[in-house]
Structure 1
Amino acid sequence: MGESETNGRTVKSGQTLLAVIEALKELDGASVSELAAELDIAKSTAHRHVTTLAENGYVDQIDDTYTLSFRFLDLGGYVRDQHRLYKQIRPSLERLSEETGELATFIVEDDGMGVFVYRELGSNGVNTAARVGSHTYLHQTAAGKAILAEFSEERFEEILDRHGLPRKTAHTITDDAELREEIEEIRRRGYAYAAEENTKGLTSVGAAVYGPNDALLGAVSIDGPSHRLQGEWLNDEIPQVLLSAINEYELNVSYL
């Protein structure tokens, strides 16, 4: 068997396996028939891949339904915790959630998308659908827009070309010129706002976080109900608390 044939079959098989994993996540579990229909593949192919995942502990089976196992939680935890600078930001999030009573989040950029790495819920905080590990479009959140504001024009263009500006709510910015204008304001101000642009009824304030050698790590945000996050609390106090916590974190890790 030639090298090109081997590589081609391996890549195709691997892509199908990854597609099965993604489908099991999107469908909240599925039977072989449902997987085959969802991915437009033969039932035998779906069965072969899902059986391989089950035999290796990545999928659980209840009757004829397959679901992703906790093995992925272990992998996700490993990916997050292997970066010590990410781990060290958690106390700052805990402080923010305690001081504000709201939800504090930390996201990083991955392939032009935002990934939620940590979430800390304050005493009055409201939970959201954004779980740890989930992805979001950067232009839809305060933390994401804070990250976009740190990028060069070239990187900014790459992300817009690849992902566009999809709408999540009626308030999501979907106009290129409007987003650029807001990005300039974020750069001037030092932090970003998102008013119900990702989740109806939720307002956020976010700012970028840097590590040693001026490396952009991600962004932290404080998120809460729009009826609470308004006026002086939103425009003065929350940004001050947010930037103070980030500054303290950056000083603590500056020589690591």
Structure 2
Amino acid sequence: MIENTERRTLKTTQTSLRILTLILEHDGLTLAELDGMVDSPKSSILSHLDTLRDSRYLVKTDGVYRVSFRVALLGDRVRARYPNRDRVSSVLEDLAETTGEEANFTIFEHGRLLMFHGTSGNAATTEDETDYRSEYYLHNTAAGKAILSELDPTRVERILDKWGLPRESEATITDRERLFDELAETGERGYGIVDEEFAPGLVAVGAAVYRDDGTILGGLSVGGPKYRIDRTRINHELGEQLLEAVSSLESTLQS
């Protein structure tokens, strides 16, 4: 959920979290490297690093700062609040096997989609294969469009105000009016479609996945290269297969 932007936020906390994120994304950074990435004095960056080390979120070896194992343990506790990975994996593998395409399940938080698990063809992807991209926008992903189409327009506007409409390919929709037209069609159809809007040559369909309390948990999508997926296949095959998988996943999550 997007928070009220009028609330007071602390820049120092934002900087610490930015540093932690950069170190995680680069699998370790030195103070000199961070000095070229963070818009703060070098002495201030060092203070943030020392604070994160004292709090046991970072370790330092030979001048390189890395995220600590404690963060992984905290992550495991967070993951326990979300669906059982094996249950999600089973549904995704069935969808991938049925369609012969890649299937992904993402978690919806703070107006973004976070990769939870994915499959490619008949085999599940490994952590390393999905780590190249772990966060996604809503406006140019199939599951993201599906989720936006089911939200109140005011909330959609807040999400767009926060994250914008970044262009990630030539086909990405960057105009709000055109996006809202697309969302209306998505709502009527029941699933979102992206045709090279996320990446050149990639076509996908996606739908929202609900918790048993009626709130949106995330999105399920399936897609592949454009030469294998056209609108006819989407309308007469993939769309129906996707919605069947969503129904199966929602039933699994409630059991």
Counterpart Cα distance in 2 of 1:216 and 1:112: 12
Counterpart Cα distance in 1 of 2:74 and 2:224: 30
**Which structure has more RCO (C-alpha within 8 Å, separation ≥ 6)?**
2
1:139-178 correspondence to structure 2 within 5 Å:
139-178=139-178
On the 8 A contact 1:137/1:144 being kept in 2, the answer is yes
1:139-218 correspondence to structure 2 within 5 Å:
139-218=139-218
Report the more deviating stretch, 23-32 or 169-178.
23-32
CA distance 1:132–1:207, change in 2 (3 Å) = farther
Aligned-residue identity in percent = 37
- Structure 1 SS opposite 2:205: strand
Deviations 1:138-166 (A, max 9, x none): 00100110110110111111112222211
Question: Shift of residue 32 of structure 1?
Answer: 1.1
On the 8 A contact 1:109/1:115 being kept in 2, the answer is yes
* Letter matched to residue 64 of structure 1: G
TM-score normalised by L of structure 1? 0.81
2:67 paired with 1:64: no
* Letter matched to residue 31 of structure 2: V
Q: Which residue of 1 aligns with 2:97?
A: 98
On the 8 A contact 2:87/2:252 being kept in 1, the answer is no
Deviations 1:39-84 (A, max 9, x none): 2434344334334545665434443222334544443343233224
Counterpart Cα distance in 2 of 1:28 and 1:55: 19
Q: Which residue of 2 aligns with 1:24?
A: 23
* Letter matched to residue 229 of structure 2: L
Counterpart Cα distance in 2 of 1:65 and 1:181: 49
* Letter matched to residue 122 of structure 2: S
On the 8 A contact 2:118/2:124 being kept in 1, the answer is no
Deviations 1:179-222 (A, max 9, x none): 11111111111111111211222211101112213222221000
Report the more deviating stretch, 216-225 or 45-54.
45-54
User: As a proportion of its length, which structure holds more helix?
Assistant: 1
Counterpart Cα distance in 2 of 1:161 and 1:49: 29
- Structure 2 SS opposite 1:155: helix
Higher-Rg structure is 1
- Structure 2 SS opposite 1:170: coil
* Letter matched to residue 237 of structure 2: E
Counterpart Cα distance in 1 of 2:11 and 2:48: 12
CA distance 1:121–1:72, change in 2 (3 Å) = farther
CA distance 1:73–1:230, change in 2 (3 Å) = farther
Counterpart Cα distance in 2 of 1:13 and 1:96: 45
On the 8 A contact 1:103/1:126 being kept in 2, the answer is no
CA distance 1:70–1:239, change in 2 (3 Å) = farther
Q: Which residue of 2 aligns with 1:4?
A: none
2:81 paired with 1:82: yes
RMSD after superposition: 3.1
Q: How many residues align?
A: 246
- Structure 1 SS opposite 2:235: helix
Counterpart Cα distance in 2 of 1:202 and 1:212: 32
On the 8 A contact 1:165/1:175 being kept in 2, the answer is yes
Runs of 5+ consecutive residues of structure 1 not aligned to the other structure? 1-7
Question: Shift of residue 174 of structure 1?
Answer: 0.6
Counterpart Cα distance in 1 of 2:19 and 2:11: 12
CA distance 1:12–1:235, change in 2 (3 Å) = closer
Report the more deviating stretch, 172-181 or 116-125.
116-125
